[in-house]
Amino acid sequence: MRIRAEGVVVRYPGLDAAALDDVSVTVEPGTLYAVLGPNGSGKSTLMRALLGGSQLAAGRVTLDGRSLDGWDRRERARSVGVVTQSETISFSLTTREMVAMGRYPYLGALASEGDDDRAAIARALDACDVAGLADRDVTTLSGGELQRTRIARALAQEPRALVLDEPTSSLDIRHEMAILELLRASADAGMTVLLITHGLDTAAQFADRMLLLDHGRLAAEGTPSEVLREDVLLQVYGWPVSVHADPESGTPRVTPRRAPK
């Protein structure tokens, strides 16, 4: 699926500055696209804008060339799976029940799960390595387990695009890498993957292209070596960094410098 934003502007009531100011981006099918930027630069707002979660003051968003308004809710949910930054779980729920919620856009109000649904749920549980936790109460899962369960729920939607807001921020390196490898493999299999992250190095390792936001504006866009440049990062993050090519892969590595004494 091709996700495209053209001149998108989002304003929040009571704030003078636009949360997103004239942002255009195209995410092609089969690519892993990273959205980077400092805290409050508009990364999550961009995600919401692309998925009908926030009102556009100007501009337009299309999914596969069709304006977002032209998508039925359930049809959109069958095509795009989303993992938000966090959610509060107030009630007891098993891991399997949580993942099965990904089948919501496929099922009528009173229909029960069919073979297709069960197969999709089982595949998603396996892909995220949570099949062994299927009968556990999600309130008893560790942060990493819960995060993988939420990604499994998005995969159970059998989407053509995945959008994830800092999915690996609470994970150790093994689980972080496992999830990024999973996302990379999904992109290689033709899925569109949009990843919001603070991890400049991991984004450089896994993303085909990336976008850097600064105060709601597009600061840079392109391949990792085009975007991750010392001068650009200094300007956007307000902190000096050095950028070197990784000796093995050649992808850029970003090392923040110590504050000058």
Partner 1 sequence: MSHTGRASRRWSLAAALCVLLALTVLLGVRFGSVALSTSDVLAALGGGGDPANRDIVLRLRLPRVLLAILVGGGLGVAGATFQALLRNPLAEPYILGISGGASVGAVLVLALGLVAAGSWVLPLAAFAGALVAIVLVFRVATASGRAMDVRVLLLAGVVVAAFFSACVAFILAVSPARTVQSAVLWIMGSLAAASWQAVWLTAGYTLPSTLLLIGLARPLNLMAIGEETAHYLGADVEGVKRVSLVVAALVTASGVAVAGVIGFVGLVVPHAIRILIGSDHRALLPLSFLAGGVFLALADLVARLVLAPTEIPIGVITAFVGVPFFLVLLRRNVAVA
Return residues touching partner 1 (CB under 8 A).
14, 51-53, 73-78, 80-82, 84, 87-94, 96-98, 101-102, 104-105, 107, 109-110, 134-135, 157
The residue ranges of DSSP E strands in 64-189, in sequence order, are: 66-67, 80-83, 161-165
CB of 135 to partner 1, least distance (A): 6
CA distances from 65 to 3, 22, 62, 208 (A): 8, 19, 5, 21
Looking up tokens 């999914």 gives: 63
Q: In this complex, which beta carbon is closest to partner 1, that of residue 8 or of residue 77?
A: 77
Closer residue to partner 1 in complex, CB, 154/241: 154
What is the closest distance, in whole angstroms, from the C-beta atom of residue 147 to partner 1 in the complex? 13
Closest to partner 1 by CB, 89 or 185: 89
Residue 225 and residue 204: Cα distance in Å, rounded?
8
> Which residue pairs from 71-76 have beta carbons closer than 8 angstroms and sit at least 24 positions apart in sequence?
73/105, 74/104, 74/105, 75/105, 76/51, 76/52
Tell me how far, at minimum, the Cβ of 2 lies from partner 1, in Å: 19
Q: Which is nearer to partner 1, 7 or 143 (CB)?
A: 143
CB of 82 to partner 1, least distance (A): 4
Tell me whether residue 25 or residue 164 sits nearer to partner 1 (CB atom).
Answer: 164
Q: What is the DSSP string of 83-112?
A: E-S-----S--BHHHHHHGGGGGGS-SS--
Distance in Å, CB of 96 to partner 1, minimum: 6
